Structure 1
Amino acid sequence: MSQAGQAVSAPRSGDRLTGSVIVVALVSAISGLLYGYDTGIISGALLQIGEDFDIGHVWEQVIAASILVGAVIGALTCSRLAERRGRHGTLLLIGIVFVIGSLAASLSPDPITLSLSRLVLGFAVGGATQTAPVYVAELAPTAYRGRLVLFFQIAIGVGIVIATIVGAAEIIDWRVAIGMAAVPAAIMFALMLRLPESPRWLAREGHLDRAEEALGRVRHRDSDLSAELQGIRENVEAEKQASTRGWSGLKAAWVRPALVVGCGLAVFTQLSGIEMIVYYTPTILTDNGFSDSTALRVSVALGLTYLIAQLIGLAIIDRVGRRRLTLLTLPFAALALIVLGTFFVTGNDGKSMIPWIVATLVAFMAFTAGGIQLMGWLTGSEIYPLATRAAGAAAQSASLWGTNVLITLTLLSTMNAIGTGQTFWMYAVFNIIAFVFLWKKMPELTGRSLEEIEQHLADGKFKPADF
C-alpha cells in the first residue's frame, strides 16, 4: 500500500461531516431528483400526450427515448468540460440547461418539438449523472463517501416517486407537470454558487493553494488537512508521471479492469429491467386490460418501493458492502421477473390476478432498486484513477444511457413481437448474466479511499480476491 493510501485511510478529524459537505451532497441530490423526475414523469404523461397529439407507440417510444439520447451526449460532453473547466463550473452550466429544457418541453406545440426539448433536457440529465457523483466523491470524507454519493441515487428515487404521484393525480396537465422541474433546477444553480471547486481537480491543475483553501471550506475548522493534502499531492504527482490521462488513459492495460467493471455494471443496471418498469408500467398494464387509474396507482406503489429500497440500501451499504449487496439481491430480482413473465405467458393476467402481479412487480422493484441500482453511479465516481476519472465516469454514463436508449426505443415493439411475458423472461436472463459477471469481476470497494483503489489498479490487483 502506498504512503498516500495509508495517509488518506487513517482516521482523522477531517472525516467529520460539515455543513458545506452536506450542501455539496444536497446539490448532487437535487440533480438526482431532476433525473428521476424528468425521466419518470413521462410514464404517466404519455397517457395524456398520446391523446393530445394523437400519436401511437412509435412516437411514444421516441418521446420517452429522446431524453436518453440527450443524456448520452451530455455525459460525453460534460466529461470534457469537467476536465477542462472543473466540476463546479460544469454543474453550474447543467443547472441552467435543466431550467431551459424543462420550460421548453412544457411549451412544446407538437411531438417533434417535445422530443427535441427533451433532448436538451437529457443533456443536463446525462451531464449531472456524470459530474455530480464525481464532485461529491472528491469533496467527501472517505468515511462518508459512499453514503454521500448515494444521496444522488436516493434522490432519483424521490424524483420518481414525485413524478408517479403527479401522474396518478390525473388532474395536473402534462405541460405543468414537466415545467415544474425548472424550480429545483434554479435552486440547484443558486446553491452551486456558494460551493468550491474540487480540491483534487485544482491540485491536478497545479493550483495547490486553491486546493487547500477549497478543502478547508468542506472540512471541520479544527481539522488537520496535511495528511489528506499530502495524499492528494502524491496522487496527482503520480498521475503526472504516468501516461494515463483522459480518454486515452482508459486504454491503458492497468486501467482496463476498472473500465470493464464500471461499464459492465452500468449496462446491467439497465438490462435489469428497471427502466422497463419505470417508463412503461402504465402503458404495459393498460395494454393488457388494466384501467388507467389502476395502472397509475401501481406506478406510485413502484415508485415508493424504489425509494424505500434505496433508503434501506443506503443505510446498510457501508456495512454489507457494495459487491455483497449486489450479489445477494440479483437472484431474487431475476426470480421475480420469471414469475411475472409466467403470469402473462400462461394467461393468468386478468383482474383476479392483479394483486399477485402488483406484488411481484413490487418484489422485483425492491430487489433491483436496493441492489444493483445503487452501484451504477457510485462506482463510476470512485473506481477510476484521478487522471481518467472524468473520462471513465463519462464512459460509464454513456454505456448506461446508451443501453437505456436501446431498451426504451425497442421495448414496446419487442413486447408486440414476442409477448409481454417472454420479454420479462428475457430480462430475467439478463439479471442472471449480471450476477455471473459481477461475481467474477467486481471487487469490494467499501471502506477503501480513492487513492487506495487506484493503488490496487496500479498494482494489477483489481480483482475480488485481492480486496
Structure 2
Amino acid sequence: MSASEDRPATRSGTAAARDDGGGLTSAVVVVALVSAISGLLYGYDTGIISGALLQITDEFGIGSGWEQVIAASILAGAVVGALVCSRLSERLGRRTTLLVVAAVFVVGSLAASLAPNPLTLSLARIVLGFAVGGATQTAPVYVAELAPTRYRGRLVLFFQVAIGVGILIATIVGATESVDWRVAIGAAVVPSALMLGLMLRLPDSPRWLVKAGHRDQAREALQRVRPPGTDVSGELHEIDELVEAERTASTRGWRGLREPWVRPALVVGCGLAVFTQLSGIEMIVYYSPTILTDNGFSDSAALRVPVALGATYLVTQLIGLAIIDRVGRRRLTLLTLPGAALALVVLGTFFVTGNDGQAQVPYIIATLVAFMAFTAGGIQLMGWLTGSEIYPLATREAGAAAQSASLWGTNLLITLTLLSIIDTIGTGQTFWLYAAFNIAGFVFLYRRMPELTGRSLEQVEHELSAGRFTPADFARAR
C-alpha cells in the first residue's frame, strides 16, 4: 500500500461546508476558562520555584544538588503525566481526565506546601508535575473539540496566554519577599479547586463520545455548548466522518509514528520541542534569582528581575500570537533565534570578563529582557502549536504526546544539570553554551521545518504522505 493510500480520508465536501457551530455560549466560555486555569497553574507551579528556592535553601540548609532536584521533580512528573494522560483521555474521555488532573493539582499543591523536608517536597512536586503534563496534553484538545469553528483558534490560545499569566503572578509573589514559600506554593489550591468545580458542570468531548459509541450523548453535549435552537446535525456528521477515518486508517496511534512517511513530522515536531527548551528559557525562569545572587546581586534585586522577565514573556507572547499568522511560523522562529543567541553571547561576556558588578546591573537586566523577548515571542510559541498541526489525523494524539514528552524530558535534563554545569564551567560559559544551542536550533529548523502557516491540516497531511515535507517542497507548492 502506498503512503497516499495509507492516509486517513479527509472530510467530505458536505461535512466541510457545515455550519460553524454558531456563536459563543456561556458553556463554551467556561470550557475556555477551565483551559486557562490549567495553563495558569502550569505557569505558576513551574515559575513559583524560582523565588521560593532562596527561602527553601535557607530553611532546609541544602546545596545546589537538592535545588536542582526540587526544581526538576515537577518536570519528571510532567513527562509521566503527558504520556499517561494521553492514554487516559482516549480511554476515559477528556472530561474525566481533566477532573483527575484538577484533583491531582489540589493534592500536589497541599502536599508541597506542607513538606517537612526536601525529599517530601520533591515527591510532592512530582505529583504536581503529573497534573502539569496532563493539563498540557488534554486541556487544549478538550477546548478544540468543543469550541465553534470560528472561535476555536482564539479559545485554544487562552491556554498559551494563561501560562504567561501564571509565570508573571509567580514572579510577583516571589518578588514581594514577604510571602512564605509554603503559602506561595499552597495558594495554587484555590484555582485548582475552581477548575475541579467548573469541570463538574461541563460535558465530555463530542468527538470522544462518538468514538466511544455514545452518539446520543455526543448530540446532547453539542447542544449544551451551542446556542439554543442550533441544528448540530451537520457538526455531528463531520465528527462521524472524522472518527470513521481515524478508525479505518491502517497508520494510526503510537505504532503509526514509526511509519517511514510519518517520520519526518515526528523528527520536526520532537526536534522543535527539544530546541524550545535548549533555548535557555527554563534556565532563566527557574534559576535567574539563584544565578544572580551567586554572582553578587542582593536577594531583593535578584527577585525583582523575574518580574520584568515574566512581564516580557507575557507581552511578547501576545505580540507573537497576534502576528504569527501574518509572519509565518517558520519565519518568526528563524527571525527570533539569532536575537536570542546574541543576547546569551552578550550575557556570557559580562560574566566571563568580570563586568558583572553593580555598575553593569542595568545592562545585564536589559540583556536578560531582550533574550526573553526573542525567545518567548518566537520559538516558545511553536512547541505546543505544532503538535496539533504537523501530524496525520490518525496519529495526531500520539504525536502530540511524544512531542510533549520530548519537551518535558529535555526540560528535566536541563533543570537537573544546570547548576552543576555552572559550577563546573562558569556562569558566562554556560550562557555561551546555550547560545550555541540556539544556533544549532536555527540550523536544524532552517533545514527541516516547513512553513505550515496558511495550510489546512489536510494539506499538511497530503504533503507529508507524498514525501514532500521539506521547506523547499512547501515553498514550491504555494
Q: Same fold (TM over 0.5)?
A: yes
Match of 1:383, SS state, is: coil
Give 1:34 shift: 0.6
Q: Distance in 1 between matches of 2:29 and 2:454?
A: 20
Q: Distance in 2 between matches of 1:226 and 1:294?
A: 59
Give 1:448 shift: 4.5
Distance change (3 Å), C-alpha of 1:66 and 1:195: same
CA contact (8 A) 1:95 1:189 kept: yes
Give 1:137 shift: 2.5
CA contact (8 A) 2:10 2:245 kept: no
CA contact (8 A) 1:336 1:360 kept: yes
CA contact (8 A) 1:384 1:392 kept: yes
Residue 174 (1) aligns with residue 181 (2):
yes
Distance change (3 Å), C-alpha of 1:401 and 1:184: same
Residue aligning to 1:309: 316
Q: Percent identity?
A: 76
Q: Distance in 1 between matches of 2:27 and 2:44?
A: 25
Residue 347 (1) aligns with residue 338 (2):
no
Matches within 5 A, 1:106-125: 106-125=113-132
Q: Distance in 1 between matches of 2:186 and 2:231?
A: 46
Residue aligning to 2:386: 379
Residue aligning to 1:75: 82
CA contact (8 A) 1:53 1:110 kept: yes
Q: One-letter code of the match for 1:187?
A: L
Give 1:430 shift: 1.4
CA contact (8 A) 2:83 2:401 kept: yes
CA contact (8 A) 1:5 1:452 kept: no
Give 1:120 shift: 0.7
Q: Distance in 2 between matches of 1:79 and 1:206?
A: 19
Residue 57 (1) aligns with residue 60 (2):
no
Distance change (3 Å), C-alpha of 1:341 and 1:143: farther
Range 342-351 or range 134-143, more displaced: 134-143
Q: Distance in 2 between matches of 1:70 and 1:267?
A: 17
Q: One-letter code of the match for 2:147?
A: A
Residue 399 (1) aligns with residue 406 (2):
yes
Q: One-letter code of the match for 1:165?
A: I
Residue aligning to 1:148: 155
Q: One-letter code of the match for 1:32?
A: G
CA contact (8 A) 2:16 2:238 kept: no
Q: Distance in 1 between matches of 2:22 and 2:395?
A: 25
Residue aligning to 1:364: 371
Q: Distance in 1 between matches of 2:180 and 2:195?
A: 25
Residue aligning to 1:426: 433
Give 1:79 shift: 1.0
Residue 297 (1) aligns with residue 304 (2):
yes
Q: Distance in 2 between matches of 1:151 and 1:164?
A: 20
Range 23-32 or range 239-248, more displaced: 239-248
Residue aligning to 1:47: 54
Range 328-337 or range 41-50, more displaced: 328-337
Distance change (3 Å), C-alpha of 1:145 and 1:318: farther
Q: Distance in 1 between matches of 2:324 and 2:70?
A: 35
CA contact (8 A) 1:73 1:126 kept: yes
- Of 161, 165, 169, the residue aligned with 1:158 is 165
Match of 2:69, SS state, is: helix
Give 1:312 shift: 1.4
Match of 1:117, SS state, is: helix
Q: One-letter code of the match for 1:309?
A: T
Q: Distance in 2 between matches of 1:359 and 1:183?
A: 34
Residue aligning to 1:33: 40
Residue aligning to 1:212: 219
Residue 331 (1) aligns with residue 338 (2):
yes
Q: Distance in 2 between matches of 1:440 and 1:9?
A: 33
Q: Which runs of 5+ in 1 are unaligned?
A: none
Q: Distance in 2 between matches of 1:413 and 1:181?
A: 30
Give 1:344 shift: 1.3
Match of 1:152, SS state, is: helix
Match of 1:252, SS state, is: coil
Match of 1:14, SS state, is: coil
Give 1:343 shift: 1.4
Give 1:3 shift: 5.9
Match of 2:203, SS state, is: coil
Residue aligning to 2:27: 20
Residues paired across the two proteins, number: 467
Deviations 1:327-349 (A, max 9, x none): 22222111111111111122211
Q: Which runs of 5+ in 2 are unaligned?
A: none
Residue aligning to 1:417: 424
Q: One-letter code of the match for 1:348?
A: N
Range 108-117 or range 216-225, more displaced: 216-225
